Amino acid sequence: MISPPGPEAQASEGVAAEGAATGPAIGLLVNPVAGLGARVALKGSDGAQVQARARELGAVPAATGRAAQALVELTARLPPGTAAPRLLTAAGAMGEDAAHAAGLSAQCVHDPGPGPTTAADTARAVAALLAAGARLLLFAGGDGTARDVLDAMPGGLHAPAVEAAGTTEEAVGTTASPRTDAADGSPVRPRDGSGRLGVPVVGIPAGVKMHSAVFGVHPRAAGQAAAAWIAGRAGVKDAEVMDRDEEALRAGRVVTRLYGWLPVPDEPVRIQQRKTGSSAPDPDAVAGIAAGLAERVGAGALVVLGPGTTTRAVAAALGAHDATLAGVDVLRVESAGPRPAARVVLADARADQLLLQPDPWIALSPIGGQGFLLGRGNQQVSPGLLRATGRERLAVLATETKLAALGGRPLLVDTGDPVLDEELSGYVRVITGRRSTAMHLLSP
């Protein structure tokens, strides 16, 4: 049952004392290896070989800690008088460890047994949680885990298969609402016997580059969204599950397709938007941003350049045509004059390698549609590096078109360090061209 530890666990905080739970049962599922490859530049964590390589490079699992953050926030955000929910989970690293880390007790309804967990374990755990009566499912992982959860959900709604092709950044397939396909516009989404859209889910972001619209903007937001649903303050809507090709990503291509939809609490501030496809940015705008960046940092400066189509185009405009699309590179600016230039001195760097760079700048561009500046696909830019460089050496790069597409929503940060996220928040100057900038809000 969800209740704070110790004798002070009373209903005054909106959570009933242990043994008095009368609210809905919620399920917790953790992918223990989610995000394992993030800080070591492996572009994902799928596959035993990738996971083994990540550990060789010193990667430390973070999913359990991020799930615990969500649980703590969920407990704190339940309004006074809200019936306490029961917490159901899987044994060990698949959920029980996170519950204990959050100081909560839980009922284990599935034991994956010894050894590494797989997608089959995820399916069995989802089935066990639903069979035990879970009315809301929290899962910690990335897009791959979201896909596995969708596959395991009875009546899960999958998108028609679309063949992915191409060599740049793409979003393949439609994301139209699955509930208005009938000729008369009536909902056609599979519902349970009570007419609901099925068991809602909330993704706790713990993967590498999460494109799906089922995750909280950070672990605490996931807990807040779950608490809102439990308290009856949030409805449910369908949200896209996106499937990214990790092999293509490691080869320098970002190929994402719509995989299906999952029901999530309707909390647009707390649940992230999906990643939108990126077309090649306007060459003139990119050239202006490249010149603006070089001018700001100065000749001789080292620049840690984040991933994405905008940043790669900026590197190319500076003459660094060998910059990677999906990795974090280090560039040295050789000229900041009328003809700015730079070269790659370290490609596809790991977090530990970036910490060795002397006095670097950090240049990042937000993810299209989502607005994430930190915490999605660029975890190599670690809290340690950000603290060492300082906010004043953070350069944000975006075309005016990309900023306008956010519709006034803030740029988002999810570094894994909530205190640092708050320190980074506030208005930041975005380089949109040569001697052209715009102020935009940066928010956790």
Which letter, b or e, does each residue of 10-32 get, where b requires 16 or more Cβ atoms within 10 Å of its Cβ?
Answer: ebebbbbbeeebebebbbbbbbb
- Minimum mean pLDDT among 165-169, 313-317, 396-400, 425-429: which range? 165-169
Q: Which two tokens stand for residue 244?
A: 């990214």
**pLDDT (mean) for 89-95:** 97
pLDDT at 279: 63
pLDDT band at 60 (very low <50, low <70, confident <90, very high): confident
pLDDT tens for 14-23 read: 333 344 467 8
Provide, for the chain, the percentages of residues in helix, strand and coil under a 3-state DSSP scheme, each rounded to the nearest 5.
30, 25, 50
- Minimum mean pLDDT among 67-71, 85-89, 97-101, 174-178: which range? 174-178
pLDDT at 254: 65
* Residue 236 neighbours by CB under 8 Å, 6+ apart: 196, 197, 200, 229, 263, 264, 265, 266
* Residue 197 neighbours by CB under 8 Å, 6+ apart: 189, 191, 236, 237, 238, 263
pLDDT band at 257 (very low <50, low <70, confident <90, very high): confident
pLDDT band at 161 (very low <50, low <70, confident <90, very high): low
pLDDT tens for 355-389 read: 999 999 999 999 988 999 999 999 999 999 999 99
Q: Which one, of 414, 413, 351, lies nearest residue 388 by Cα?
A: 351
pLDDT at 18: 43
pLDDT at 16: 36
Name beta bridge partners: 412: 372, 443
Q: How many CB atoms lie within 10 A of CB 103?
A: 15
Q: What is the rounded average pLDDT for all residues in the chain?
A: 85
Q: Which two tokens stand for residue 215?
A: 């995750």
Higher-confidence residue of 390 and 160: namely 390
- Minimum mean pLDDT among 93-102, 128-137, 164-173, 394-403: which range? 164-173
- Record the pTM: 0.85
The sign of the dihedral angle between the CA atoms of 286, 292, 294, 296 is negative
Q: Which one, of 156, 119, 150, lies nearest residue 33 by Cα?
A: 119
Identity at 201, one-letter amino acid code: V
Integer angstrom CA distances of residue 74 from 82, 85, 360: 12, 11, 38
**Residue 173 above 60 pLDDT?**
no
- Minimum mean pLDDT among 124-133, 167-176, 279-288, 298-307: which range? 167-176
Angle at 360 between CA 252 and CA 339, to 5 degrees: 75
pLDDT tens for 215-226 read: 999 999 999 999
